[in-house]
């Protein structure tokens, strides 16, 4: 029996495929390559010695997806595929609703048709919006999100919840990731954003390599110890391991379960800059800029439930995340990439 991983050539998906193969699972990947490269499949083979079966299919193409369910013996689905750029979702909300909602609906319908009853979904801490306090526990209210991307995560969570109510045989695990960083230590897979990065770490690594001139720190007047935004950064290898544990959990037929995947520690933008500079011996010039609309002061996870019920504990440190992100950037930097610089 195989695990179908949608979005398996993407950033978190590819690391999870490696972890699944290393845990002895058979993996089938579906990805339309809208935000990843076919090369990743070979790199997974380089790391694990196993070439996962790969289908280049858009999840919106139901008939093509049906063929995958017909020809593969699928026991569980881990659903990473989705669009994730917050800013783009504000200007192109329909694209986000169509892609993220429709793809999930297609998948759930095919799972019902082929009696596949184990599902893991990539949600996000973004569903909590601005929390009333930290750390954030799973039972905190969700839905007050500040952008269409976050709204797709909220809607899909509700879709899964309703489906679980209607189908008592269905077992789903919703994982709410905090802020993933880092890369596989081999430097073969990692995060490769197109254009100017939106997220902090890819921006920092591109400053470090000289592709961008300096980091713009978005606000130093937040209600945090040093005034910059605080987040719960978690190594992508820890996240990948969280999916292996989630899969094990849903095999015990729990119905619907929801977990935060974070470290439980908050670090500020200045913490990240200082740690990156110290670990990698590279200077990160920065300027203080106005706050970015929609940003909150602080966000970090209450990890009690994931620890108790999933046996999940993040192992990697912020130093590891900074080292591995930089290693991936150095290993994969192409001179031809150095075209845009946001000075």
Residues that bind ligand NAD (CB under 6 A): 7, 9-13, 31-36, 58-60, 80-84, 99, 103, 122, 124, 177, 180
Please state, in angstroms and rounded to a whole number, the distance separating the CA atoms of residues 11 and 190.
6
CB of 168 to ligand NAD, least distance (A): 26
8 Å CB contact between 305 and 176: no
| Nearest to ligand NAD of 13, 135 (CB atom) | 13
Strand order in the sheet with 230-231: 267-268, 230-231, 298-299
Query: Could you tell which of ligand NAD, ligand WQD, none binds residue 292, using a CB distance below 5 to 8 A set by kind?
Result: ligand WQD
CB of 3 to ligand WQD, least distance (A): 22
CA-based radius of gyration for the chain: 19
Please state, in angstroms and rounded to a whole number, the distance separating the CA atoms of residues 112 and 130.
35
Neighbours of 224 (CB within 10 A): 17
CB of 343 to ligand NAD, least distance (A): 26
Which residue has the closest beta carbon to ligand WQD? 229
By three-state DSSP, how is residue 9 classified?
A: coil
| Nearest to ligand NAD of 2, 227 (CB atom) | 2
| Nearest to ligand NAD of 154, 326 (CB atom) | 154
316 part of the active site = no
Please state, in angstroms and rounded to a whole number, the distance separating the CA atoms of residues 204 and 179.
15
Please state, in angstroms and rounded to a whole number, the distance separating the CA atoms of residues 335 and 343.
18
User: Residues 284, 290, 292, CA angle at the centre, nearest 5°?
Assistant: 90
CB of 184 to ligand WQD, least distance (A): 19
> Which residues of the chain form contacts with ligand WQD (CB under 6 A)?
84, 86, 124, 126, 150, 179, 198-200, 203, 215-218, 229, 231, 269, 292, 295
Please state, in angstroms and rounded to a whole number, the distance separating the CA atoms of residues 110 and 116.
8
The catalytic residue among 11, 128, 149, 267 is: 149
| Nearest to ligand WQD of 52, 264 (CB atom) | 264
CB of 114 to ligand WQD, least distance (A): 29
Query: Could you tell which of ligand NAD, ligand WQD, none binds residue 218, using a CB distance below 5 to 8 A set by kind?
Result: ligand WQD
Residues annotated as catalytic are: 149
């Amino acid at each position: 029996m195989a695990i179908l991983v949608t979005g398996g050539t993407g950033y978190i998906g590819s690391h999870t495929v490696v972890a699944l193969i290393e845990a002895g699972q058979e993996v089938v990947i579906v990805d339309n390559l809208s935000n990843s490269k076919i090369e990743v499949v070979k790199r997974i083979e380089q790391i694990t010695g196993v070439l996962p079966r790969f289908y280049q299919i858009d999840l919106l193409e139901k008939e093509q997806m049906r063929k995958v369910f017909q020809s593969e013996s699928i026991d569980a689905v881990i659903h990473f595929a989705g669009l994730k750029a917050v800013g783009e979702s504000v200007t192109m909300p329909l694209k986000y609703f169509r892609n993220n909602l429709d793809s999930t609906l297609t998948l759930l319908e095919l799972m019902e048709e082929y009696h596949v009853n184990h599902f893991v979904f990539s949600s996000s801490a973004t569903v909590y919006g601005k929390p009333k306090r930290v750390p954030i526990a799973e039972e905190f209210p969700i839905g007050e999100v500040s952008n269409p991307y976050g709204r797709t995560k909220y809607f899909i969570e509700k879709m899964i919840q309703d489906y679980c109510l209607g189908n008592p045989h269905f077992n789903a695990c919703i994982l709410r990731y905090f802020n993933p960083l880092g890369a596989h230590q081999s430097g073969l897979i990692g995060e490769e954003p197109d254009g100017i990065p939106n997220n902090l770490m890819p921006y920092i690594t591109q400053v470090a390599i000289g592709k961008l001139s300096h980091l713009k720190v978005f606000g130093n007047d937040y209600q945090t110890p040093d005034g910059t935004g605080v987040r719960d950064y978690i190594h992508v290898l820890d996240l990948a391991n969280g999916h292996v544990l989630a899969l094990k959990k849903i095999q015990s037929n729990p119905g619907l379960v929801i977990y935060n995947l974070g470290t439980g520690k908050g670090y500020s933008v200045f913490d990240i800059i200082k740690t990156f500079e110290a670990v990698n011996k590279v200077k990160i010039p920065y300027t203080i800029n106005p706050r970015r609309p929609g940003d909150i002061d602080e966000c970090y996870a209450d990890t009690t439930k994931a620890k108790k019920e999933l046996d999940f504990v993040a192992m990697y440190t912020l130093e590891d995340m900074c080292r591995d992100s930089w290693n991936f950037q150095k290993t994969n930097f192409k001179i031809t990439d150095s075209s845009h610089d946001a000075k």
